[in-house]
Amino acid sequence: MSARPLILVTNDDGITAGGIAALVTVAREFGDVLVVAPDSPQSAQGHAITISVPIFVRESDALGEDIEAYECSGTPVDCVKLAKSVLLDGRTPDLCLSGINHGSNAAINILYSGTLSAAMEASLEGIPSIGFSFLNYRADADFSVCLPYVRHLVDFVLANGMAEGSLYNVNIPDLPAGQIKGLKVCRQAEARWVEEYVKAEDPRGRPYYWLTGRFVNEDTRTDTDAYALEQGYVSLVPSLHDLTNHRALTSLQIIESGLQPEGVTYTDDAIEKKQQLEQF
Amino acid sequence: MSARPLILVTNDDGITAGGIAALVTVAREFGDVLVVAPDSPQSAQGHAITISVPIFVRESDALGEDIEAYECSGTPVDCVKLAKSVLLDGRTPDLCLSGINHGSNAAINILYSGTLSAAMEASLEGIPSIGFSFLNYRADADFSVCLPYVRHLVDFVLANGMAEGSLYNVNIPDLPAGQIKGLKVCRQAEARWVEEYVKAEDPRGRPYYWLTGRFVNEDTRTDTDAYALEQGYVSLVPSLHDLTNHRALTSLQIIESGLQPEGVTYTDDAIEKKQQLEQF
């Protein structure tokens, strides 16, 4: 057994992407590393998991022969599940890093992102987890500008831990190192996608739609991730997998008492039990 | 133009599933109905979207010739995006209903569920949205026990609206109507899946893993959806697409001031701008 931290690394762009190599570079400075990543790009997979077909897993030396690494035919969330149940062989990671994604996962993109869904899956298991994204979509993106921020956050989280059930969504602007102004802790912007479907016909005359779109930030607040990035900051949104709208819990209780719709009848036993349980 | 409400209906089990027919039965009592649903089962797709291949869309009479309905080769979230951008032809739905799913989407299953991700996608567009699930996995499930609750909630939301950015995650226990004790407004349980992978080899000798698992609720609180369902209630969790951990925003600001890692240098201009922006 090693006294060094154990760091699980994954992504959604696939095990050969440049961003995961950048994360591994930092992770091995701090601890032992296990990589489990998709064998092909899995962008926009969200929290999808593979249940109707089997998943193939192979050892990989894509990140160097001295790195324990596996590539898998499933989604990013599958990678984390497989790591936990099979490949970690009983070990518990101290930290999960996902990315570095090619392109922004700020604002509502956390919902669509395989990178962030993998981090969230790790958070479900109580593993402190950070998803990193770089606002540079080019295949040959130079991730070196990201490294000091990755290093700072890995150091911080290994030293201080993370609130249970939480994960950090970190986005890094596409600027030279000297022009990045620092790091901002932010809320998720209420931005959205305006879809533009290309409509055409396939060679057999079947009409099809192909998704494209524009990211639109109409959120005018200045404490959001989208705003921080526009201003040249690295954004960090502490995020949760508990989606409950806690503020609505009390006000919505009216919906319970209103429920005597036609067709629902209660047995005496049920009414008695309902009364007993009313206080919970 | 019609003065009746317009209700968008979708699901993840596919347009021929029994659950969506149940939703359409209720929806047409209240308003005009547009159905856009997957042409095949899309369970566990989470918030996945289709970007690397085109999406095929066809009119469908699976729900009766008098219902405007389309089947689509994409995910549940694709269905909502296509409805909004193309098939609604400029109309804005007053409500989106998704389901009724075969099987529970209580607790963290909201993250994996195509049914709930479709509802969440509608909420991103400001459309009040409800995802329904029935705790009965059988293909021949009788959804009639669900109808009074669907009716009650459609009526309630059309009359009262819904907090912006919110959606309701509604789960209905698999009990005879008379034994359901009522409706409870709940928080999302902190339950989780314990995966069990079946390991085997394909006909060519390649090892594979096939996902299965057990749902484990170790959350002992009595105000959760999982608890309400165990007690025989319909559960309703008001949910959000804003995943920000708002309580952590202030305490985490230490992470900003700690950021002077080796290798990050600030230009004078950047330092000045940083100071100017410090108050946001």
Residues of B in contact with A84 (CB under 8 A): 195
Is A207 in Cβ contact with B56 (below 8 Å)? yes
Q: Which residues of B make up each annotated binding site for a divalent metal cation?
A: 12-13, 43, 101
Q: What confidence score (pLDDT) does residue A262 get?
A: 43
The whole-angstrom separation of Cα A142 and Cα A136 is 9
Contact B112 A252 (CB under 8 A): no
Q: How many CB atoms lie within 10 A of CB B11?
A: 31
Separation CA A256–CA A233 (nearest Å): 45
pLDDT at A257: 63
How many domains does the structure of chain A reveal?
A: 2
**Residue B214, in any domain of the structure:** no
pLDDT, mean of each 10-residue run, chain A (280 residues) = 86 95 97 96 85 92 95 95 94 97 94 94 95 93 95 92 90 93 93 89 91 90 96 95 88 69 45 42
B168 three-state secondary structure: strand
Do B149 and B262 reside in the same domain of the chain? no
Q: How far apart are CA A69 and CA A91, in angstroms?
A: 15
DSSP string, B35-63: EEEESS--TT-TT----SS-EEEEE--TT
Dump pLDDT digits (tens) for B109-160.
999 999 999 999 999 999 999 999 999 988 889 999 999 999 999 999 999 8
Which of B25, B39, B49, B56 should we substitute to test contact with A (largest number of A Cβ atoms within 10 Å)? B49
Strands of the sheet containing B166-172, edge to edge, are A192-201, A207-216, B55-59, B68-72, B32-38, B6-10, B95-102, B129-134, B166-172, B234-240, B183-185
Which element (helix H / strand E) includes B101? strand B95-102
With a pLDDT cut of 70, the percent of chain B lying above it is: 91
Q: Give B181's contacts in chain A (Cβ within 8 Å).
A: 266, 270, 273-274, 277
Cα nearest neighbour of B252 on chain A: A185
Checking if the pLDDT of B48 tops 70, the result is: yes
- Cα atoms found within 13 Å of the Cα of residue A13, Cβ hemisphere only: 25
CATH for B111: 3.40.1210.10
Structural domain including A39 reads 6-189+221-240
Q: What is the pLDDT of residue B186?
A: 94
The predicted complex's ipTM stands at 0.84
Average of per-residue pLDDT values in chain B:
88
User: Which are the contacts of A24, defined by CB distance < 8 A and separation ≥ 6?
Assistant: A9, A33, A35, A63, A64, A67
Q: Is residue B195 part of a domain?
A: no
Q: How far is CA B195 from CA A51, A121, A202, B210, in A?
A: 11, 12, 40, 10
Q: A172 with A76, same domain?
A: yes
**Is B46 in contact with A45 (CB distance < 8 Å)?**
yes
pLDDT interval class at B42 (50, 70, 90): confident
Query: Does A40 count as an annotated binding residue?
Result: no
Residue for token digits 């879809």? Answer: A195
For A49, which of B51, B211, B245 is closest by C-beta distance?
B211
Please tell me the number of Cα atoms within 13 Å of A92 on its side-chain side.
Answer: 6
Asked if residue A149 belongs to a domain, the reply is yes
Is B1 a domain residue? Answer: no
**For residue A139, how far is the Cα from the chain centroid?**
21
Cβ contact A238–B248 (<8 Å): yes
The answer to whether the CB atoms of A49 and B149 lie below 8 A apart is: no
Q: Tell me, rounded to whole angstroms, the distance of Cα A84 from its chain centroid.
A: 16
- Kindly report which listed range (A220-229, B48-57, B254-263) carries the lowest average pLDDT score: B254-263
For residues A180 and B259, is the Cβ–Cβ distance under 8 A? no
Is B143:B18 a contact under the CB 8 Å cutoff? yes
Residues A31 and A119 in one domain: yes
Q: pLDDT by residue (tens digit) across A2-43?
A: 579 999 999 999 999 999 999 999 999 999 999 999 999 888
Query: Strands B183-185, A192-201: parallel, antiparallel or unpaired by DSSP?
Result: unpaired
Domain-located, residue A213: no
Give yes or no: residues B171 and B266 share one domain: no
Strands B68-72 and B55-59: antiparallel
Query: Which residues make beta-bridge pairs with B32?
Result: B6
| A144 phi, psi to nearest 5 deg | -65, -30
Confidence (pLDDT) at A272: 52
In this prediction, residue B257 carries a pLDDT of 63
Burial class (CB in 10 A: 0-12, 13-18, 19+), A179: middle
Which of B187, B227, B248 has its CB closest to that of A249?
B187
CA A79 – CA A65 distance, rounded (Å): 20
- A77 and A147, same domain (yes or no): yes
- CA pair distance B129, B178, nearest whole angstrom: 27
CA atoms within 13 A on the CB side of A64: 11
Kindly give the pairing relationship between strand A95-102 and strand A6-10: parallel
- A147 and A256 co-located in one domain: no
A217 labelled binding-site residue:
no
User: Do B66 and B111 belong to one domain?
Assistant: yes
Instruction: Tell me: do B20 and B113 sit in the same domain.
Output: yes
Pair B36, B4: CB distance under 8 Å: no
Residue A121: inside a domain: yes
Pair (A228, A271) in one structural domain: no
The DSSP result for B247-269, as a single string, is THHHHTTHHHHT---TT----HH
Q: Is residue A11 part of a domain?
A: yes
- Gap between the Cα atoms of A71 and B196, Å rounded: 19
B186 with B263, same domain?
no
List the one residue out of A275, A254, A212, A186 whose CA is nearest residue B246: A186
Q: Say how many C-beta atoms besides its own lie within 10 A of residue A119's C-beta.
A: 32
Contact call for B277 and A231, based on CB within 8 A: yes
Asked if residue A118 and residue A142 are part of one domain, the reply reads yes
According to the model, what pLDDT value does residue A77 have?
94
- Condensed to tens digits (0 to 9), the pLDDT of residues B7-31 reads 999 999 999 999 999 999 999 999 9
Same domain, A158 and A42: yes
The encoded tokens of residue B210 equal 């096939």
- Name the residue facing A206 among B56, B195, B240 (closest C-beta): B56
How does residue B280 score in pLDDT terms, banded at 50, 70 and 90?
very low
Q: Is position B200 within any domain?
A: no
If we measure between CA atoms, which residue out of A87, A113, A111 comes closest to residue A9? Answer: A87
Q: CA dihedral in degrees (A259, A265, A268, A269; nearest 10)?
A: -80
